[in-house]
Amino acid sequence: MSASDKRPGQRATARTPRANTDSSNKQVIYTLFASAAAGTAAWYYSFIHTPPSFTVLPSSYALCADAGKIYTADPVKPNVDCIVVDKQTILTTGALLEVQFWWDGYQNELIAKWYGNEPSAKKPLPVINLRPGLIVTPGLADAHAHILQYGFKMQLRLDQARSLSELLDTLEDYVRKHPSGPDTWIEAMGWDHTKWSDTDGSFPTAADLASRPTLAALPIALHRVDVHALWISPRALELTKAHNGGGLPVSVPGGEILRDSAGEPTGIFVDAAQSLVPVPKWSRQQVREYADRAIKDALAVGLTSIHDAATSVEEFELFKQLDTERKLPIRVYAMADSDRLTLKEAKQLEIYDTSPTAHVRMRSVKLFTDGALGSWGAALLSPYSDKPDAHGIMRHPEEELLKTAREWWERGWGVNIHAIGDRANKAVLDIFEEIGNDPDDSDAIAKRRPRIEHSQIMRPEDLQRSGKLGVLTSVQPTHATSDMNYAEARLGPERIKGAYAYQTLLQASRNHVLPLGSDFPVESINPLYGFYAAVARLDNEGNSPHGSGGWYPAERLTRAQALKGMTLDAAYAAFAEEVLGSLSASKRADYVIFDRDIMDESRPVGDILEAKVEATIIDGKVVYGGISGNSIL
């Protein structure tokens, strides 16, 4: 979503503050608060004519919505009418009468402490009434995403192609607009052969790229949507062979070079084999542009925190630089990318976590086990149902992964491990059980909050074991709806029962915590797509292999569960639940205003996809859009 998607603010007529009361009580509210501040003219209410959209907020204010339409994700007070914000912190929540009287007492305490009971020092509390129909939620977090890769993907939208022919058209159009020579690489991301209407579902080949004259002589490297397979052109294949001493290895540990019946490379490099392709490193200017694009688009869809799930040292330094320049409004919880760390970097890297409210943090590492289901790379205990000669790829043997995980664990780092297939998930649980085992402390593992990133295909016993151990399962609901049209064919009717099992994982969790993310740019950056997928188990057109009731509907989440997964649970997974994740007293004022009630279970589920963000607020400041309503002093 871009800024142009935001609906223009409408000038609303002045309305009285709400306190779960009807119009007959409005005069009572005025009288009560005028009396509470007798002798201080500032405490008498008068309407101030203001523009319909606030982009700069007072240092202190009460924000009020329709009765109960502020969804806090706080289990003690899940719905309130108003929140009181002072600078960057939420001071209290409740009905208008409650927060106004609280503010009066709060001011009295401050005056007694600092001003010697001087009445003139008392500050009035501006009340901003949102226009009818708007709701407020905590700022949304994406618990698993890739910031720079999103900006990279958006430069050339391969994901929009629904056929091989359409994708080749897109590439030819790009080449015409960006002329280049035979040694200038064209790199892009987003193709998905499972969605093409003009192929049989097999991987594309270098010959497919060479079928278009304008592409035939160019070095082209195209990353699959899940980034677990790379499709290259004949020219890129030539350069790859030259880069690797004139040929390619027969086998690659943790990866695969696909070959035809004659043993020749087809142009597809899977998982670790991708590192053989000498794609040029992004320039500093490109990296900065990709970050800027991702940040801009994230704010427009209500994201206030992002867990960057594989951050290189260079990328982390960029995030810190942006923060220093005050150009990083979102909060980035970075996971160090173990695959891109040199041995020296891995040994010297130190935890960077000044505060759970900081906009840049790094206290966990991302390790990898296997590939992805879409490229037959997810590591399975039994062969693929639609490819009996394949079990997937373990990118690192279990023994090596155990050794690496233990080293990070013993240095105090959080350990988050990518696992898709049932073999990979079993291996990760075995590792956490071994490295975290403490006979004297049954909560030793849970205290460290280790994470399985994806937790996609699991044995029934491992679904339960993850919760018993206290391992967090970080999932991406849109993966279920993206994969559902081919997942059962890959896995078979029994194994699929342990896949994308979100409700089961939530109920099994020791603390009922299920962090939700998107894995963008693999999926859309818009968190409402994930919210919808979690509660509907349908694609964006309202379809599923099981009909309009949703794909394996028993695994749906409620709207309240989905919101918590995108707010408080994500904060918990980043060791920040005491200060982020809910609209509660003493927490940071990170919140989002939507143009409709996505939490109302009586509304059609498809309405969620039509919702737009009116405003995104971080640390009490508007960072996207504006707040539509009236101000009352």
Shared domain for 442 and 499, answered yes or no, is: yes
Tokens of 247: 């040929």
Structural domain includes residue 40: yes
Given this model, what pLDDT does residue 113 score?
80
Structural domain includes residue 567: yes
Shared domain for 271 and 290, answered yes or no, is: no
Distance from C-alpha of 437 to C-alpha of 442, rounded to nearest angstrom: 8
Structural domain includes residue 581: no
Shared domain for 355 and 473, answered yes or no, is: yes
Shared domain for 166 and 271, answered yes or no, is: yes
Q: What is the pLDDT of residues 265-312, one digit of tens each?
A: 999 999 999 999 999 999 999 999 999 999 999 999 999 999 999 999
Last-in-domain residue among 217, 248, 276:
276
Given this model, what pLDDT does residue 110 score?
86
Shared domain for 174 and 223, answered yes or no, is: yes
What residues make up the domain containing 9? 3-139+587-632
Given this model, what pLDDT does residue 633 score?
62
Q: Quick one: CA torsion of 275, 392, 498, 339, rounded to 10 degrees?
A: -20
Going by C-alpha positions, the residue among 451, 488, 453, 455 that lies closest to residue 470 is 451
Q: Residue 112 belongs to what H/E stretch?
A: helix 96-114
Shared domain for 316 and 385, answered yes or no, is: yes
Shared domain for 158 and 193, answered yes or no, is: yes
Concatenate the DSSP letters of all residues of 204-256 into one string. --HHHHHTSHHHHTS-EEEEETTSSEEEE-HHHHHHHHHHTTTS--S-BTTEE
Given this model, what pLDDT does residue 632 score?
67
Tokens of 579: 């200060």
Report angle CA 338, 339, 344 to the nearest 5 degrees. Answer: 65
Tokens of 197: 């209407």
- Provide, for the chain, the percentages of residues in helix, strand and coil under a 3-state DSSP scheme, each rounded to the nearest 5: 35, 20, 40
Q: What is the CATH number of the domain that holds 461?
A: 3.20.20.140
Q: What is the CATH number of the domain that holds 624?
A: 2.30.40.10
Q: Judging by DSSP bridges, how do beta strands 229-232 and 186-191 pair with one another?
A: unpaired
Shared domain for 602 and 563, answered yes or no, is: no
Cβ atoms within 10 Å of 286's Cβ, excluding its own: 15
> Does residue 352 sit in helix, strand or coil?
strand
Distance from C-alpha of 212 to C-alpha of 226, rounded to nearest angstrom: 25
Given this model, what pLDDT does residue 182 score?
81
Shared domain for 424 and 553, answered yes or no, is: yes
Structural domain includes residue 580: no
Last-in-domain residue among 276, 308, 340:
276
Distance from C-alpha of 445 to C-alpha of 456, rounded to nearest angstrom: 21
Distance from C-alpha of 148 to C-alpha of 144, rounded to nearest angstrom: 13
Tokens of 433: 């059980």
**Total length of the chain:** 633
Burial class (CB in 10 A: 0-12, 13-18, 19+), 78: middle
Q: Position of tokens 């497919």?
A: 208
Shared domain for 268 and 290, answered yes or no, is: no
Q: How far is CA 66 from CA 18, 70, 215, 583, in A?
A: 7, 8, 57, 16
**Cβ pair 331, 165 in contact under 8 A:** no
Q: What is the pLDDT of residues 545-591, one digit of tens each?
A: 999 999 999 999 999 999 999 999 999 999 999 999 999 999 999 99
Q: What is the CATH number of the domain that holds 244?
A: 3.10.310.70
Spell out, as residue ranges, where the chain has pLDDT lower than 50: 1-51
> Does residue 380 sit in helix, strand or coil?
coil
Give this prediction's pTM: 0.89
Structural domain includes residue 358: yes
Structural domain includes residue 579: no
Concatenate the DSSP letters of all residues of 53-110 into one string. EESS--SEEEEE-STT-EE---SSS-EESEEEEETTEEEEEE-HHHHHHHHHHHHHHH
Distance from C-alpha of 7 to C-alpha of 280, rounded to nearest angstrom: 41
Structural domain includes residue 483: yes
Distance from C-alpha of 240 to C-alpha of 219, rounded to nearest angstrom: 10
Q: Position of tokens 């924000």?
A: 63
> Does residue 433 sit in helix, strand or coil?
helix
Given this model, what pLDDT does residue 15 score?
35
Shared domain for 32 and 171, answered yes or no, is: no
Tokens of 87: 């600078």
Write the CB contacts of 551 (distance below 8 Å, at least 6 apart in sequence). 480, 481, 484, 537, 538, 544, 545
Q: How far is CA 540 from CA 481, 550, 552, 609, 621, in A?
A: 9, 12, 16, 8, 32
- What is the count of structural domains for the chain? 3
Structural domain includes residue 582: no
Given this model, what pLDDT does residue 47 score?
32
Last-in-domain residue among 244, 276, 308:
276
Rounded to the nearest 5°, which phi and psi values hold at 194? Answer: -75, -10
Shared domain for 119 and 253, answered yes or no, is: no
Given this model, what pLDDT does residue 19 score?
38
